[in-house]
Chain A
Amino acid sequence: MAKVIVVTSGKGGVGKTTTTAALGAALARTGQKVCVVDFDVGLRNLDLIMGAERRVVYDLINVVQGDAKLPQALIRDKRLDTLSLLPASQTRDKDALTDEGVARVIGELREKFDWVICDSPAGIERGATLAMRHADIAVVVTNPEVSSVRDSDRIIGLLDSKTERAEKGERLEKHLILTRYDPNRAERGEMLKIDDVLEILSIPLLAVIPESEEVLKASNLGSPVTLNAPQSAPARAYADAVRRLKGETVAMTVPSEKRSLLGKLFTRRAA
């Protein structure tokens, strides 16, 4: 039986889809059978970031509504044969997702894979609640910015009340991934510090992804950053996150200021 992860956030544009693709690829690299599911019906981005946009024939809605069978809609990744994608539909209405249909598809995916990672739409509407409903683990993605942190807090509240596990009285495992973190700017007070975010949200930290141009580069090449540049700082942070999800204890590497002697001289001169 697979573990179902929902990657969610309150605010849009914080890096949910990037995180879903990066975590999925990093897990698949370790030999686990992984399926990434795009729940963002109406927008559809995960297939682009995974580089599979030309291979979409059937999508999640088709499977939910019974027009296609699950194996017809699953797209096998060309680089990793343990990685699959269930894309979303751009043309259909987001209300086309039904609760029973989603429950059935997640049930089928659970039997086929080791991990099912659902990329949730942003916000608190139906699409987001449907995506989180059947999750065992929630990964909340946040930027070090107040609006993003507050909306994430709202989402954590929903995770504690609107999911199947919460309704059964069980605890849903919740983790935080802080993306686009820049230690220099945090030090200057231009963005929230890691401790501030953790204090407000009070859920365990899974990873801190440093702000890096590698992420944007990988997205535009249609390749998860953990495949495109596995040695880059963000890819290593995602790889550590995956090891923590699998239950390993890995020391948290927090991006710190990179200051060479030259850099120190320059900043001193500037100050």
Chain B
Amino acid sequence: MTSQTQTRPPIRFRGRSFLAVVLAPEAPIEDWLADLDALAKRSPAFFAGRAVILDVTALAPSRDALHDLVVALNEREIPIMGIEGAGAGSLGPGMPPPLNGGRPSGEVAMPGEAPAAAPVERVTGAKSLMLESPVRSGQAILFPEGDVTVMGSVASGAEIIAGGSIHIYGALRGRAIAGAAGSPGARIFCRKFEPELLAIDGLYRIADDIDPSLRGRAVQVWLDGDAMRTAALD
């Protein structure tokens, strides 16, 4: 029996991040709840299965008012996983736990809300990082916001991690990790293909698994379902 307990692997802790929707109620609460109802009517499933955090920093409610607010939200089947900005004494048993240390990540688009404006905004807001000089061994370029373009080469031992696609107008000798923000549509392009590691959206391939006939050529890499594809550009 004891040997069995000894062979059990140790408990492992993992990190996982979800995009939480932050609700920041404004006074007067009744009007704000009415607006929320109108919104929920337009897209009933918006809050289903989402992580919702209640930010009461601006409201600064009393203990009872906060309790009423949580009850009102529960009635609307909006599950609150945590409360930000509440005073130390105002959270008791039966209330969601306090949260801190969150980092803002921009607006969450509501379905059915100004559908015409959203795509245009995304195109103009598309960010990219332009690197004029070669990326040296030991350097790591992290750009989760979008595409990375390198005018020089990426040296062996260097690393580019992009939220979007990676374009290299020199030789790729290091690691290229595209689509790091979870975009399987991201691609890797380079003029001279000698990579150590390629990755798109978490799928990776090391140098040994790469078709040797592509070495030294201009190549693009993309994802086709769960398979990584490579093809010469010329």
Binding site for B on A (CB under 8 A): 124, 150-151, 153-154, 156-158, 160, 199-200, 202
Q: Is the CB of A154 within 8 A of B171?
A: no
Cβ of B130 to closest chain A Cβ, rounded Å: 16
Q: Is the CB of A157 within 8 A of B152?
A: no
**A151, A153, A160, A200: residue with the most chain B Cβ atoms closer than 10 Å:** A153
Cross-interface CB contact of B171 among A157, A158, A160, A199, cutoff 8 Å: A199
Q: Is the CB of A150 within 8 A of B133?
A: no
Binding site for A on B (CB under 8 A): 133-134, 136-139, 152-153, 155-157, 171, 173
Cβ of B177 to closest chain A Cβ, rounded Å: 19
For the complex, give the distance between the alpha carbons of A156 and B137 in Å.
9
Instruction: Sample 5 A-B pairs with CB under 8 A, ordered by A number.
Output: A150-B155, A153-B156, A154-B157, A157-B137, A157-B138
Q: Is the CB of B152 within 8 A of A202?
A: yes
Q: Is the CB of B155 within 8 A of A153?
A: yes
For the complex, give the distance between the alpha carbons of A13 and B184 in Å.
46
For the complex, give the distance between the alpha carbons of A156 and B173 in Å.
16
Q: Is the CB of B153 within 8 A of A150?
A: no
Cβ of A132 to closest chain B Cβ, rounded Å: 14
For the complex, give the distance between the alpha carbons of A200 and B172 in Å.
10
Name 17 extra pairs, CB < 8 A, besides A124-B138, A158-B138.
A150-B155, A150-B157, A153-B136, A153-B138, A153-B155, A154-B136, A154-B137, A160-B133, A160-B136, A199-B153, A199-B171, A200-B153, A200-B155, A200-B171, A200-B173, A202-B134, A202-B153
Q: A160-B133, A199-B171 are in contact. Are A154 and B152 (CB under 8 A)?
A: no
For the complex, give the distance between the alpha carbons of A151 and B171 in Å.
18
Q: Is the CB of B152 within 8 A of A150?
A: no
Residue of B nearest to A156 (CB): B136
**B138, B139, B173: residue with the most chain A Cβ atoms closer than 10 Å:** B138
Cβ of B142 to closest chain A Cβ, rounded Å: 15
Q: A199-B171, A202-B152, A202-B153 are in contact. Are A151 and B136 (CB under 8 A)?
A: no
For the complex, give the distance between the alpha carbons of A124 and B157 in Å.
15
For the complex, give the distance between the alpha carbons of A199 and B191 in Å.
13
Cβ of A212 to closest chain B Cβ, rounded Å: 29
